[in-house]
Amino acid sequence: MNDAFLASEYPPAASEAAAFHVIPVPLERSVSYGGGTAGGPAAILAASQQLEGLENGMAPGESGIYTTPPVDVSGHPEGVLGRIENAVDKALKAGAVPVILGGEHTVTLGALRALARAAEKSGEPFGVVQFDAHADLRDEYQGDPFSHASVMRRAVADLGLPLVQFAVRELSREEVEVRRRYGVTHYDAYFLARVGLPEQPLPEGFPRRIYITFDVDGLDPALMPATGTPSPGGLTWKETEFILERCVKDHEVIGLDVVELAPIAGLHHADYTAARLTHLLMALAAHKDTELNGEDAQ
């Protein structure tokens, strides 16, 4: 069975009894270079069947994983975003952590809208932690405000969410100014390589509750070639583990996504890496204060 995340290790849980709702969203409408993101969610689900039940000593599957049917991505982007919001709403009402599998990065906006609405009702704010080769802070790209290159602009400008970015190495002049205007904290690839990561990378006053959005092009193309714009100089696996561990310390992960996988036929390691990354993020969401097996990531 390859239509439910990690079903090879854990029987799929009922939606109301699962700690995680995995939500596939095979959206591909605004990709601007290489295509293929429509196949990303199915590739991650299939590759997840090859994972072990433990990730760095943690077993998020023991808390229950429910995989929803793929979100309908036909029609106008607002309609698609609305359907993503509905799926995330259902996860939140069930007390589950929504896990979005993209699809292009635009899918993140639907999840953030649902979480922002819930946060407004509860009075508990949250912030966004982004891993990406690109800042995605353009107001529009190729005339499209719902482009994958504009998703973080919608987050900070439209939803007013605080944002921290990691591993960016492709940046426009417009985005530099947007970072200043909205106070976006950033640890770009150049900075991480030459200065390193502070003990607590999330700034003082950043919300305790966080949403992690991980564009797989944040990883180095040697590790992740299967994405639309594989930019050199990205993160290694150990660096990724290390940064994530520091980000989740004393924080609660309330939602996450893995986006922009564009599978390449016969290249199994990229699909597997995206599936394992998803599992790692789920493990950190379930055990936010657990160190990663005591390993010293280099």
What is the three-state SS of 214-280?
EEHHHECCCCCCCECCCCCCCECHHHHHHHHHHHHCCCEEEEEEEECECCCCCCHHHHHHHHHHHHH
Query: Do the Cβ atoms of 256 and 97 come closer than 8 Å?
Result: yes
Reported as a single tens digit per residue, the pLDDT across 252-281 is: 999 999 999 999 999 999 999 999 999 999
Please give the Cα distance from 21 to 66 (Å, whole number): 5
Reported as a single tens digit per residue, the pLDDT across 193-224 is: 999 999 999 999 999 999 999 999 999 999 99
Is the confidence at residue 84, as pLDDT, over 70?
yes
Query: Do the Cβ atoms of 66 and 13 come closer than 8 Å?
Result: yes
Average pLDDT over residues 84-103: 98
Give pLDDT, residue 1: 43
Q: Can you tell me whether residue 198 is helix, strand or coil?
A: coil
Is the confidence at residue 290, as pLDDT, over 70?
no
Give pLDDT, residue 132: 98
Tokens 């802070």 locate to 137
Reported as a single tens digit per residue, the pLDDT across 222-255 is: 999 999 999 999 999 999 999 999 999 999 999 9
Q: How far is CA 264 from CA 226, 228, 243, in A?
A: 6, 11, 27
The CATH number of domain 15-286, selected from 3.40.800.10, 3.30.70.100, 3.40.50.150, 3.50.50.60? 3.40.800.10
Please give the Cα distance from 292 to 283 (Å, whole number): 10
Give pLDDT, residue 294: 45
Is the confidence at residue 298, as pLDDT, over 80?
no
Instruction: List the chain domain ranges.
Output: 15-286
Give pLDDT, residue 34: 64
Give pLDDT, residue 156: 98
> Is residue 295 very low, low, confident or very high in pLDDT (cuts 50, 70, 90)?
very low
Pick from 46-55, 59-68, 139-148: least confident? 139-148
Is the confidence at residue 144, as pLDDT, over 50?
yes
DSSP state of 175: H
DSSP 7-34: TTTSPPPPGGG-SEEEEEE---S---SS
Please give the Cα distance from 188 to 168 (Å, whole number): 5
Tokens 């290249």 locate to 267
Reported as a single tens digit per residue, the pLDDT across 96-118 is: 999 999 999 999 999 999 999 99
Per the prediction, the chain carries an average pLDDT of 94
DSSP state of 96: P
> Is residue 174 very low, low, confident or very high in pLDDT (cuts 50, 70, 90)?
very high
> Is residue 31 very low, low, confident or very high in pLDDT (cuts 50, 70, 90)?
low
Phi first, then psi: give them for residue 86, nearest 5 degrees. -60, -40
Alpha-carbon dihedral 276, 19, 248, 262, rounded to 10 degrees: 30
Reported as a single tens digit per residue, the pLDDT across 5-14 is: 999 999 999 9
Give pLDDT, residue 29: 87
- From the number of C-beta atoms within 10 Å of its C-beta (0-12, 13-18, 19+), residue 87 rates as buried
Phi first, then psi: give them for residue 110, nearest 5 degrees. -60, -45
Is the model's pTM score more than 0.85? yes
